Amino acid sequence: MTEPPAPSLDDLPAAVPARSRWSRLPLIWILPAVVIVAGAFVVVHEKLAQGTSIEILFENAEDLEANKTKIRYKEVEIGDVRDIHVAKDRKEVVVTAMIHRDASEYLVEDTRFWVVRPRISAAGVTGLGTLVSGAYISVDVGKSANPSEHFVGLEVPPIVTSDLPGRQFVLHADDLGSLDIGSLVFYRHITAGQVVGYALDPGGAGVTLTIFVNAPFDGYVTGGTRFWQASGIDMSINSDGIKLRTESLTSILQGGVAFQSLPGSAMTEATRDAAFTLYPDEERAMRPTETEIRTFVMYFNGSLRGLSPGAPVELHGIAVGEVKSVDVEYDRDAGTLRFPVVVDMYPQRIRGRKARGAQPPAKDDAQTSSRKLVDSLVARGLRAELKTGNLLTGQKYVDLDVHADAPAEKVWWADQPWVFPTVSNGLDEFQDSMGSIARKLNKVPFDRISYRLLSTMTSLEQTLKSTDQLMRHVDGSLAPQVEATLTEAQAALKNAKELLAQDAPLQSDLGATLLQLSRAAKAVTALVDYLERHPESLLRGKPGDSP
Amino acid sequence: MTNPATGRSLGLLLCLDCRATVRGAKASHSHCPRCHARLYVRKPHSLIVTTVLVVCAALLYIPANVLPVMNTRTIFEDERDTIMSGVLVLLQSGSWPIALLVFVASIVVPLLKILALGVLLYSAWRPSPHRRLQRSELYRMVEFIGRWSMLDIYAISLLATLVQVQSFASVIVGWGAWAFAAVVVLTLLAARTFDERLLWDTPQHD
Amino acid sequence: MPVIVCPACDLAHRLTTAPASGRGQCARCRAPLQRRENASIDTAIALAVCALALLLLSNAYPLVAMQVNGSSRDTTLIGAAVGLYAQGFKSLAALVFVTTVVAPLLQIVSLLYVLIPLRRGRRAFGRNTVLRMLTRVRPWSFMEVFMLGALVALVRLSNFAHIAPGIALWSCALLMLCLSALTSITSTEQLWRWVEESRE
């Protein structure tokens, strides 16, 4: 059997080398591929993490350096300054900064930027750390919802930052006094806030201040809260005496504002930016507002010096009214000058006691019944009298009291304003009587009395002399006992004679004493005259209200 | 054999740029057929140039170590550092391995290079048949370690660039650094211009 | 006749195939003569691309950031040279710049310039000049020395400041490794061998 011949090796096809494109790419290419991918990853990551570029306008670039100055929020670095150049209008400097990506949410419209550098201000020295670490830009994040990338930087750090809990209020005052931005606000002598700004009212009639009260004190500002200037030293001289008040050493130096709520006032918290009046002092601020005011006029005899508007009208020491004004009137009919004192009374303070279960009177009835009440009191002797509240200051006040011996008078309801009956001042009477005593004393002829006394003494002496002679005559004829007695009598008379001699001490003493008494009487007269004219002369000083 | 067959004796030239072995032509100037570089039997003026370079390097070695390399100014003090004092500072701050590294690289190595090159130059000027192998190995070592002296220069450049914090500290480069860099560069150039085949050339040449 | 001459002692040798492992040495002075090199051009190109990417990263980002007393500073590779220039040491700055940026860049770019066309069998314009320049420039690339110098600087800085290494520091370290790998596979002989192989 023939088999096909075995194929020889030469007939075998040779393996064809595979010429695929991909086999030419060895594994080594993984390395650059990995590197490029990693590099691209890094670049993209850096670009994404780059953050936002913003522009801040400042007046100048003091202490700022490109690529160096940092931007911090709550002391945490959130970006840095990249470029600084002068703006086209040459009025400010444009600072370009890069803010980190995770801080981009802080960039809203009312976010504020300022440069922190060492500063000395009313609040003290701040930013000393920047002497070593270099200045930085601090941020106060705003509350707006609109993002922004252009800001105007503050030249001065803000007094309050947005995240400080508390509330802003508005105060109206006549003048700024000693207040300034940064002046403190006190509540019960505790620092509760600061004055953040002020501006002159349009028209120049007053000043409007903006204050910021920190939490939790802002909760104590209600509708019934009163604000007053607690600046410096508050000294008032009035009929109650002299009062000295200060809030704190800081307020003495810088001025301050204090507030407190009127007792019994509304408890609802005041809203943001609510407006209040700024009173000049605590006294005036805390005066409760009177809802019912009745105006009277009183005519007083005697000097009205020392009675100033604002002086109280007191009933048994309780203030029931206030002097509104002191005027001069010329009464044509009588041809004399009159001095009406207009007084505001607060009838609320004189409450009628009602029996239990009795109904309060209706409004019209209330007026009539109150008139009736006043009439009945006046009929019993209720009068107004000027009294010196304080001898030191000479300030006077109006005192209402029942004078049992006062002449009968009535309230003149017909006149407008109503006329209230008055009595003279007790002190005036005392002055009058002192004056009359002094005058009487003056009239006593002390000279003649002493002269008379002298002549009487002289004649008495002569009598004694003759008696002495008589005794001598009797001397020889009477018994020696009589002589002894006479001798004793003689001795006694001699003593008396010595005592009553012209230049005897007793006589000269007596004469001198009488002379002094005469002089004293003259001096008292002069004093009383003077006091009558200048009652406050014991304390020279201006009578008047607090500064 | 008494005379080993050298390239020169066989008329073969080695191209310095592409390492091709070329049959030398008779013309004074010839170029490599492969890369067209100029061919030389030995590096031109090798001995003289290398000697000049080494002498300059040796001269500059003194100011390199005497002049301050770095001037560290803080609000408290003004510290001038030479290379040696820098090493001591590193020692004192506790990092002795680094101190050792800087010491070797910046003080030992340049000195060694200059001395080694001096030895090599001497034996090239006055060739002797003894210890040629060791001298070749010495040359190879010089070539190898030459570059490492530069590390102090790089360290100084980084310090001078980074430590510029006004009112706290600033680093100012001193002329010692310049002299030191010059020493390093000159010795590097000297190693390159020196033709090591001169060590093996016998006085009689063909 | 395949003869090679020792570059160190000028002794002529017979050209044989290089030993499988290690290198052939000169018979007289033990200088390295031959080495078995069979790397492919692709590897070289890949490594060069790698090195290029790393070089770009190393120069784009800061090397290290230093924080002291609330202020921080950082610098790039070029910034270190600029720092020297700013202090008036222009030649020193040039030296640092050349040895750390220019030389590696030239090395990488010239390799790519020659090898990419070579891979396709083409000849790059001015190839000879470029290859000669490469041979001269390569010894001046001191990336690994720079890394060590940077280490010394970091140690000195860490004594009084807080040091944060930057991206460029890591990419420089990788670049250093990449460049040394590149240098070892693209020796002068290897390059010219590739050139000769592609011609045929």
Contact C103, C89 (CB under 8 A): no
Same domain flag for C67 and C149: yes
Residue B206 lies in a domain: no
Name all chains with 3 or more CB-CB pairs below 8 Å to chain B.
A, C
Residue B204 lies in a domain: no
Same domain flag for B119 and B107: yes
Same domain flag for B3 and B58: no
Q: Are strands A119-121 and A52-58 parallel, antiparallel or unpaired?
A: unpaired
- DSSP letter at C160 equals T
Length of chain A: 547
C-alpha angle A141/A144/A147, rounded to 5°? 85
Binning pLDDT at 50, 70 and 90, where does residue A355 land? very low
Binning pLDDT at 50, 70 and 90, where does residue A22 land? low
Contact B162 C64 (CB under 8 A): yes
Same domain flag for B83 and B171: yes
Span A214-243, average pLDDT: 76
Same domain flag for B85 and B37: no
Domain boundary residue among A236, A267, A285?
Answer: A285
Alpha helices, H only, C28-102: 41-60, 77-86, 90-97
Contact B118, B135 (CB under 8 A): no
Residue B205 lies in a domain: no
Please list every residue in chain A whose beta carbon sits closer than 8 Å to the beta carbon of residue B168: 132
Same domain flag for C68 and C130: yes
Render pLDDT for A47-79 as a digit per residue (tens, 0 to 9): 777 788 899 999 988 888 887 788 988 888 888
Cis, bond preceding A216 (omega within 30 deg of 0):
yes
Q: How far is A11 from chain C (nearest CA, A)?
A: 30
Using CA coordinates, name the residue in chain C closest to B150: C145
Binning pLDDT at 50, 70 and 90, where does residue A357 land? very low
Same domain flag for A113 and A224: no
Same domain flag for A128 and A177: no
> What's the pLDDT score for residue A372?
77
Same domain flag for B95 and B140: yes
Same domain flag for C12 and C70: no
Distance in angstroms between the alpha carbons of the first and the last residue of chain B: 16
Using CA coordinates, name the residue in chain B closest to A130: B167
Contact B196 C9 (CB under 8 A): yes
Distance in angstroms between the alpha carbons of the first and the last residue of chain C: 20
Block residue for tokens 């004393």: A441
Distance between CA atoms of C79 and B164, rounded to whole angstroms? Answer: 13
Residue A124 lies in a domain: yes
Residue A160 lies in a domain: no
Same domain flag for C31 and C70: no
> What's the pLDDT score for residue A249?
59
Same domain flag for C30 and C115: no
Same domain flag for B30 and B50: no
Please list every residue in chain C whose beta carbon sits closer than 8 Å to the beta carbon of residue A31: 46-47, 50
> What's the pLDDT score for residue C160?
78
Residue B173 lies in a domain: yes
Residue A464 lies in a domain: yes
Contact A136, A70 (CB under 8 A): yes
Q: Which of residues 167-196 of B touch A (CB under 8 A)?
A: 167-168
Contact A36 C70 (CB under 8 A): no
Distance between CA atoms of A26 and C19, rounded to whole angstroms? Answer: 25
Same domain flag for C120 and C142: yes
Query: What is the distance of C-alpha A115 from the center of its chain?
Result: 36
User: What's the domain count of chain C?
Assistant: 2
User: What's the domain count of chain B?
Assistant: 2
Domain boundary residue among A120, A152, A184?
Answer: A152
Please give the share of chain B, as a percent, with pLDDT higher than 70.
94
Please give the share of chain A, as a percent, with pLDDT higher than 70.
75
Q: Which of A155-169, B60-74, C146-160 has the lowest mean pLDDT?
A: A155-169
Backbone angles phi, psi at A69, to 5 degrees: -65, 135
Domain boundary residue among A285, A314, A342?
Answer: A285
Q: Write the CA distances from B34 to B10, B18, B19, B176, C164, integer angstroms.
A: 20, 8, 10, 45, 50
Which residues of C lie inside 8 Å of A (Cβ-Cβ)?
40, 42-43, 46-47, 49-50, 53-54, 56-57, 60-61, 69-73, 167, 171, 174
Q: Which of A100-104, A385-389, C57-61 has the lowest mean pLDDT?
A: A385-389
Residue A198 CB-density burial (10 A; 0-12 exposed, 13-18 middle, 19+ buried): middle
Residue B188 lies in a domain: yes
Residue A207 lies in a domain: yes
Tokens standing for A86? Answer: 């002068």
Same domain flag for A346 and A280: no
Contact C17, C66 (CB under 8 A): no
Using CA coordinates, name the residue in chain C closest to A69: C71
pLDDT score of B26 more than 80: no
Distance between CA atoms of A41 and C133, rounded to whole angstroms? Answer: 34
Same domain flag for C88 and C31: no
Looking at per-residue pLDDT, the higher value among A34 and C63 belongs to: C63
Residue B60 lies in a domain: yes
> What's the pLDDT score for residue A11?
62
Name all chains with 3 or more CB-CB pairs below 8 Å to chain C.
A, B
Residue A249 lies in a domain: yes
> What's the pLDDT score for residue B205?
47
Same domain flag for A171 and A238: yes
User: What's the domain count of chain A?
Assistant: 4
Distance between CA atoms of B36 and C129, rounded to whole angstroms? Answer: 8
Same domain flag for C116 and C174: yes
Residue A132 lies in a domain: yes
State the DSSP H helix or E strand holding residue A396, giving kind and residue range, or none if neither. Answer: strand A395-402
Query: Domain span at residue C167?
Result: 40-199
Residue A326 lies in a domain: yes
Same domain flag for C108 and C187: yes
Contact A97, A53 (CB under 8 A): yes
Give me the residues paired with residue A340 across strands.
A299
Same domain flag for C32 and C93: no
Same domain flag for B111 and B9: no
C-alpha angle B74/B80/B81, rounded to 5°? 120
Which residue pairs from A482-489 have beta carbons closer than 8 angstroms and sit at least 24 positions apart in sequence? none
Query: Domain span at residue A382?
Result: 294-352+364-424
> What's the pLDDT score for residue A127?
76
Same domain flag for A140 and A90: yes
Tokens standing for A92? Answer: 């400010």
Query: Is the CB of residue A134 less than 8 Å away from at least one CB of chain B?
Result: yes
Span A104-111, average pLDDT: 87
- DSSP letter at A523 equals H
Query: Domain span at residue B33?
Result: 1-41
Query: Is the CB of residue B177 less than 8 Å away from at least one CB of chain C?
Result: yes
What is the model's pTM?
Answer: 0.59
> What's the pLDDT score for residue A547?
42
Same domain flag for A186 and A86: no
ipTM: 0.90
Same domain flag for B99 and B13: no
Distance between CA atoms of A490 and A499, rounded to whole angstroms? Answer: 14
- DSSP letter at A273 equals T
